[in-house]
Amino acid sequence: MIKGRSTRFARRVAIVAVLLAVAAGGGYYYWLGYGAQQAAAPRRPAIPVSVTATARQDVPIHVSGLGTVQALNTVPIHSQISGELVQIAFTEGQHVKKGDVIAKIDPRLFQAALDQAVAKKGQDEANLVSAEKDLVRSKTLVVKSFETQQTVDQQQAKVDALKAGIASDAAAIESAKTQLDYTVITSPIDGRAGIRQIDIGNIIHATDTTPLVVLTQTQPSTAIFTLPETLLDPVRDAMGRGAVEVTALDQNNTRDLATGQLLLVDSLIDQATSTIRLKALFPNTDERLWPGEFINARVLLETRSNAVTVPSAAVQRGPQGLFVWVIGADASAQMRPIKVGPPTDEVTIVEAGIEVGDSVVTEGVYKLQPGAKVAVTPSTPPSRAAAIPAAAKDAP
């Protein structure tokens, strides 16, 4: 009886030992498989980014507005008299100087009028000489009582009338000379002749609305442009410090056309558009500015000296405001809130938040998360024509 119980107990122990061995073996093999799987699993790759180190530099602060080029002077050439146009003395598109002959009108009638006025004056002068002699004789006779005083007075009145007539003749001669001078039309300014609108042989009148030609003075030239009224005080402050430089760029904002100075700010703000009008003067010696051309006028308000700057592409906007991604010594990315200064073309002035020498991300920012590992790649040089990022435009 005791022997049977011992045999059953031994069997149970053996079964339990076998089960434990199987469980231990399964666990061992599971551990080996999981470890191998973990070892085979690849690590998360580093995010490729381009970085730039912050630096200090002198940064010009510009504001820009759309404007139109205007000639310094625009003169439609009209005749001041009526007559037949007998000569055109300019070529369309030609540069003319002040005093150059533009055209001529048939002068014969006006020359005849001048000759007639001169002859009339000569006649009156001859009559005056005779009247003055008669007056002298009358005065001599009245002393001897051979002539009455009334006769002397009448003779004196005749002399005075002839003198007045001679003065009138002189004025008539001057008027005739002026009319004759008007037959030669000269340029009142230095400028460029436009398209001729009246041909030789036509009768032109002083009352004609169509000009013979339009002269435009393009050297120098001016430009009228607009800025938001919020920039009125910064612009006036800049004018208070001295001459304000204005650069004219083409419509694509990529090519400098001319450099000049700000002349004035209009005395009224346009309440409908909340803008101010400004006028700038350009020497335009090469005539790259053309009247009527649309331009972008860039005004230099000031130059910030030794300012901390980052590329504008590095500035991002988040729920908490503006920030940049800064790469630490362990090659991980961290968000850094910043306070920026006035926006510029290619760089942003950072007034607080980063230090000189910090590496900020300029490309690849959309894949970054705090603490993410990065791999630095060469950056693409910025283009001058690149638009200012929205974050920089919205900066205070």
Q: Per-domain residue ranges for the chain?
A: 49-57+305-393, 64-71+216-304, 79-106+183-210, 108-181
- To the question of pTM greater than 0.75 for the whole model, the response is no
Output the pLDDT for position 53: 83
Q: What is the CATH number that goes with domain 79-106+183-210? A: 2.40.50.100
pLDDT at 15 over 80: no
pLDDT at 392 over 60: no
Q: What is the pLDDT of residues 321-342, one digit of tens each?
A: 888 888 887 888 888 888 888 7
Per-residue tokens: 112: 């005849």
Q: Give domain 64-71+216-304's CATH superfamily.
A: Efflux pump adaptor protein, beta barrel domain (2.40.30.170)
Q: What percent of the chain has pLDDT over 90?
A: 47
pLDDT at 381 over 60: no
Output the pLDDT for position 329: 79
pLDDT at 317 over 80: yes
Output the pLDDT for position 39: 47
Q: What is the pLDDT of residues 282-293, one digit of tens each?
A: 999 999 999 999
pLDDT at 396 over 50: no
Per-residue tokens: 201: 């042989």
- Out of 30-39, 141-150, 268-277, 367-376, which region has the weakest mean confidence (pLDDT)? 30-39
Q: Which residue has the higher pLDDT, 76 or 334?
A: 76
- At 170, the pLDDT band (50, 70, 90 cuts) reads very high
Mean pLDDT for the chain overall: 83
Separation between Cα atoms, residue 140 and residue 158, nearest integer Å = 17
Exposure class string for 241-267: b at 16+ Cβ within 10 A, else e: eeebbbbbbeeeeeeebbebebeebee
**Does the domain formed by 49-57+305-393 have CATH 3.40.50.150?**
no
Separation between Cα atoms, residue 376 and residue 49, nearest integer Å = 5
- Out of 103-117, 141-155, 335-349, which region has the weakest mean confidence (pLDDT)? 141-155
**Region 257-265 average pLDDT:** 94
> Sign of dihedral through CA atoms 165, 167, 170, 171?
negative
Output the pLDDT for position 10: 59
The top-level CATH class assigned to 108-181 is mainly alpha
Yes or no: say if 192 and 215 are a contact pair by the CB < 8 Å rule.
Answer: yes
pLDDT at 260 over 50: yes
- At 297, the pLDDT band (50, 70, 90 cuts) reads very high
Output the pLDDT for position 310: 84
